[in-house]
Amino acid sequence: MRRYCLAMARFPLTRTIKRFASRFNEAGYSLYVVGGAVRDHLLGLPIEDYDFTTDARPEAVISLFRRVIPTGIEHGTVSVHYEGEVFEVTTFRSDGTYLDGRHPSHVDFITNLEEDLKRRDFTINAFAVDCTTAKIIDRTGGMEDLKARQIRAIGDPLQRFDEDGLRILRGARIAAKIDFDIEGRTFEAMVDRRHNLESVSAERIREELFKLVGSDHPRKGLEYLKTSGVLAIILPELMEGDHIEQGGMHHETVLEHAFTACEAASRLTDRVEVRFAALLHDIGKSRTVKEGEDRSSFIGHDEVGRAMAGTIMRRLKASGEQISLVEDLVAHHMFHYQSTWSDSAVRRFIRRVGLNRLDDLFILRLADQAAIHGRVETTMLDELKARIASIVAQGDALTVKDLAIGGNDLMALGIPKGPLIGKVLEYLLETVLDDPGQNTSGQLLTIAERYFSLIKSS
């Protein structure tokens, strides 16, 4: 059981925050730390970032500092760059009615902290710290809920989730971050109002979903998403794996295995994309399943999974880089290395996966294994890694760029500019992957000439 000692009644204000606050005070404004920083401090967790609230209007905040970015100025939020840190500062506000479950119809800036705290989502997110006294203010019963380790909506949960559907997902994501339970009425309201998430923007959903997956207890949040029915709305493809038994060495259903692999990945890496790939790695199984005697088969689930993962990532409006990383990891998660692989097989493997993807792929493999067997066996993987390292150290060609000749050399041979150049380069790479000794310009020019005349005559 965690103990909450008295010392925690005061918040450790850093020197930078004190100087930051005095700028507000000198101009006649007040400043409070709010949100996750206070919650996390009370839990004895490291503070990741600071959110502030103030009675100064956004224009006033902008005029007080040199570098201010109007990140969400329509809601009264600006980001202030101050002494090497970035502080989010939001003017006290009370939200008008929410007509669409996403945006308040208007935002009233107010001078009252109490009202501002009441419009926040959960009691444990509604602490404030007065930056002049360092005293912690709790106006919504947050401390009681913190002691009970539970997440409770402020006021009527149904109404709060009608105002903003994203809060439903935030509840699960904060549970995942700090390993709390969701209070009964709040959870019932999540179930009841889950469809409100359908009108929340993909960007907002992605941000909270990735924070959930990136948290210390992703499984906890994922279970809440599943039992509340939210998962079926935001990741319906994943829900397809519910109740699909696999047999063989798998003791879990496809969906349970996805959760366990994601949790295992969270112990191995902080990279959210890799954790997300662990969650999605078997997503193609629901669409390739063929039931057998004592175990099912899922032939081609890696390729089907790649396409499904891409669809999900695009729907979440992830970045191009994130999409291709998750797609690649899902597509390549099925490799079966054995000591009998020739060096050329190892080179082909590197080329297929891409040198820059290998570390992440190996983490995914360890997470997958840990999820299946409850432990990891690294002997084979270590052997493969060592062989890859020596191939890389030898400087063997692994991509077209590593060849001793390039497109210009081929054009000089009379090969016309266009797709044919790429085709010949691929052919040369195939040759060099088999035998790195061929990677000299003399050899490659001879091979290219021969290959070109062969295609020309065919």
| Binder of residue 153, out of Mg ion, ligand ATP, none (CB less than 5 to 8 A by kind) | none
Could you tell me if 147 and 153 are in contact, meaning their C-beta atoms sit under 8 angstroms apart? no
**Distance from C-alpha of 149 to C-alpha of 81, rounded to nearest angstrom:** 34
* Location of structure tokens 């270590």: 382
Q: Is the separation of the CB atoms in 295 and 245 below 8 Å? A: no
With CB under 5 A as the rule, give the number of residues binding Mg ion: 3
**Across 41-185, where does the E strand assignment appear?**
51-54, 67-72, 77-82, 85-91, 93-95, 107-109, 127-130, 136-138, 150-151, 181-182
Per-residue burial over 266-287, b = 16 or more CB atoms within 10 Å of its CB, e = otherwise: bebbeebbbbbbbbbbbbbbbb
Q: Give the Cα separation of 132 and 24 in Å (integer).
A: 11
CB of 12 to ligand ATP, least distance (A): 16
Count of H-run helices and E-run strands, the chain: 22, 11
Neighbours of 317 (CB within 10 A): 13
Of residues 125 and 286, the one with the C-beta less far from ligand ATP = 125
- Report the residue number, 120 or 333, with the smaller CB distance to Mg ion: 120
Name the minimum Å distance from CB 45 to ligand ATP.
9
Q: CB under 5 to 8 A by kind: which of ligand ATP, Mg ion, none does 302 bind?
A: none
Q: In the complex with ligand ATP, which residue's Cβ is closer, 188 or 207?
A: 207
36 versus 58: smaller Cβ distance to Mg ion: 36
Report if residue 284 touches Mg ion, rule: CB under 5 A: no
121 vs 256, which CB is nearer to ligand ATP?
A: 121
Residue 327: both structure tokens together: 């797609």
Q: How far is the CB of 71 from ligand ATP (least distance, A)?
A: 12
- Nearest distance from C-beta of residue 125 to Mg ion, angstroms: 9
Q: How far is the CB of 187 from Mg ion (least distance, A)?
A: 23
Range 382-418 burial, b when 16+ CB lie within 10 A, else e: eebeebbeebeeeebbbeeeebbbeeebbeeeebeee
Least distance in angstroms from the C-beta of 428 to ligand ATP? 51
DSSP code for 215: S
Q: Which residue is nearest to ligand ATP (CB)?
A: 36
Instruction: Show the site string, 34-73: x = touches Mg ion by CB under 5 A, - = not.
Output: -xx--------------x----------------------
Nearer to ligand ATP (CB atom), residue 177 or residue 257: 177
Paired tokens of 140: 């919504």
**Residue 77 contact, options ligand ATP, Mg ion, none, Cβ 5-8 Å cut-off depending on partner type:** none
**What minimum distance in Å lies between the beta carbon of 84 and ligand ATP?**
19
| Shortest distance in whole angstroms from residue 129 CB to ligand ATP | 13
From the list ligand ATP, Mg ion, none, partner contacted by residue 226 (C-beta under 5 to 8 A by kind):
none
Q: Which is nearer to Mg ion, 38 or 372 (CB)?
A: 38
Phi, psi of 305 (to 5 degrees): -65, -40
Residue 52: beta bridge partners?
33, 89
In the list Mg ion, ligand ATP, none, the entry touching 431 (Cβ below 5 to 8 angstroms by class) is none
CA atoms within 13 A on the CB side of 180: 29
CB closer to ligand ATP out of 48 and 294: 48
Which partner in Mg ion, ligand ATP, none is near 125 (CB below 5 to 8 A by kind)? ligand ATP
Q: What are phi and psi of 283, to 5 degrees?
A: -60, -25
Per partner kind, with CB cut-offs from 5 to 8 A, the member of Mg ion, ligand ATP, none near residue 120 is ligand ATP
Say if CB 130 and CB 115 are below 8 A apart.
no
User: Closest CB to Mg ion among 34 and 410?
Assistant: 34
Structure tokens, 263: 């949790």
Instruction: Kindly tell me which of 120 and 306 has the beta carbon lying closer to ligand ATP.
Output: 120
Q: Residue 260: which of Mg ion, ligand ATP, none does it interact with, CB under 5 to 8 A by kind?
A: none
Q: Which does 228 bind (CB under 5 to 8 A by kind): Mg ion, ligand ATP, none?
A: none
Sort residue 155 into left (φ over 0), alpha (ψ -120 to 50) or beta.
left
Question: Among residues 16, 76, 72, 11, which one has the least CA distance to residue 43?
Answer: 11
Say if residues 316 and 205 touch (Cβ distance below 8 Å). yes
From ligand ATP, Mg ion, none, interface partner of 436 (C-beta below 5 to 8 A by class):
none
Residue with Cβ nearer Mg ion (79 or 297): 79
Least distance from C-beta 13 to Mg ion, angstroms?
A: 17
Closest distance to Mg ion from the beta carbon of 20 (Å): 16
Taking 3-state DSSP, the helix, strand and coil percentages for the chain, each rounded to the nearest 5, stand at 55, 10, 30
Q: How far is the CB of 214 from Mg ion (least distance, A)?
A: 14
* Contacted by 223, from ligand ATP, Mg ion, none: CB < 5 to 8 Å by type: none
Is residue 169 a contact partner of residue 201, using CB atoms and an 8 Å limit?
no
Contact set with ligand ATP (CB under 6 A):
34-36, 48-49, 51, 120-121, 125-126, 164, 166-167, 170, 177
Interface residues with Mg ion (CB under 5 A)?
35-36, 51
